[in-house]
Structure 1
């Protein structure tokens, strides 16, 4: 089982900075992509994929012994494209063709992309799919973990709460839900539309073991939380709520109410990429 090594922190931070830049470059070439939603989970994905938490085999994406990662907030996973290319799931040259005719890398990802497990265009189903996978692995006495990365906005969908109850009922301690809690959904602040109020308390009441990470852009804090969840073997499903910033690092976009559907102005993009070199 994974034990977090503090020496990883600097390498993960450098990788997260690189992924942030590459995500902006993709958005520069394909402005129809949802960039703000893709900047809040950068460190979550980087820590999960580079920190030694996922058993994976880029040469065989459907490897029988892999851990599963369900990217429920598919529209907000543009940052996964450079990660998957860097790890060898597909050639890095494909990053130049996002949203172009003939490319398998679209504005919203599809399971045709090596490294994606499920269809992610319709929100609110990732936790249910993950729970089903976790139950199947349990029934087969297999020790793989199932991670689900979701956004706080999609937790407005009732199907998620059915899945939370189902997972607790079946003691799916091999299921780990990671909430990118950037607190802004499509039309504004999540709490002004349908407030979760105390999300931790709700998940706890549904029978889950819950951690809250206030520093949701700290790879070190994320890794420590993931290590704790991964070690759990108590018959209780695990959730980690990461408090993040939508549009992280982009002036005028970060935490803006309508950032979900707002592209970055070309001059701002150029300045940000120049400053990060």
Structure 2
């Protein structure tokens, strides 16, 4: 499957999974969709019939709260049935709200932010010691970079020249309740990584050609960081850059209807929507009472007593 087709499916599955479950983090799922799609369509070496194949590339999805994106990619690559995606966040489901290793194709349960890069660095270190040619890819959120353990892993990877390690930051510039720069400043991020001895690429995280190119570059004896600049909520106009959709899900009514309708406007020609094949016939629209595109960040809504 082509990466742009997979990216659309990840977004559509993400809308459905969070809608059915009442789960959170659709904004982060939408921002990381293109990164995940390029990895699973064009980059990763894997065997869906043998998920524990020793020579596979490893992927650590450190921003585990957006795990629905990985679940969708795995299902579309036949690690398990697509129908199981509907059980996301349900009691007894293997598809927990944060990434779970109980699913084939998942190497590490994540969600407690700040640990993924340390584990990925350890895996890369073992791979180098064993003279293996597989690569380790680790996807982090930019808000996650507030964690001190991330910077310990960055130093470790540089010290041991882990050129089989590629970290990708989903740089959507928002975290939890506000913009990253209003929470704890990260910039100048590119210069920080360079000073820590990494190869650094600062790119458009929604451009599939750019993503594929930098993921395939030679590593020159250094670990690599890709700062993938993205838009939180990418693909759904009223979700884009709106912190509300970090914790909110598309409710029944205009939120779900408009999300699906907007996705159908950009649907690749060869893709089939298994949930609403022809879109939504008479979609509901927001009314004047509905708060659309309101600034919901903490810094905009908090008032001193």
User: RMSD in angstroms over aligned alpha carbons?
Assistant: 1.4
CA contact (8 A) 1:186 1:258 kept: no
Q: Report how far residue 58 of structure 1 moved.
A: 1.0
The gaps in structure 1 that reach 5 residues or longer are 1-7
Deviations for 1:201-224, whole angstroms, at most 9, x for unmatched residues?
0000001010000x2112112111
CA contact (8 A) 2:233 2:240 kept: yes
Distance 1:258 1:23 in 2: 16
Q: Report how far residue 46 of structure 1 moved.
A: 0.3
Distance 1:140 1:256 in 2: 45
How many residue pairs were aligned?
Answer: 263
The gaps in structure 2 that reach 5 residues or longer are 265-278, 280-305
* TM value normalised by structure 1: 0.91
CA contact (8 A) 2:13 2:85 kept: no
The residue that corresponds to 1:249 in the other structure is 235
The residue that corresponds to 1:167 in the other structure is 157
Runs of 4+ in 1 over 6 A off after TM superposition: none
The residue that corresponds to 2:206 in the other structure is 217
The residue that corresponds to 1:50 in the other structure is 41
After TM superposition, the structure 1 stretch with the greater mean CA deviation from structure 2, 36-45 or 100-109, is: 100-109
* TM value normalised by structure 2: 0.83
CA contact (8 A) 1:37 1:246 kept: yes
Q: Report how far residue 67 of structure 1 moved.
A: 0.7
Do residues 272 (structure 1) and 272 (structure 2) align? no
**How do 1:235-246 and structure 2 match up within 5 A?**
235-246=221-232
Please say which structure displays the higher CA radius of gyration: 2
CA contact (8 A) 1:188 1:258 kept: no
Q: Secondary structure at the match of 1:40?
A: helix
**How do 1:1-277 and structure 2 match up within 5 A?**
11-51=2-42, 53-213=43-203, 215-228=204-217, 231-232=218-219, 234-266=220-252, 267-275=254-262, 276=264, 277=279
Distance 2:100 2:213 in 1: 31
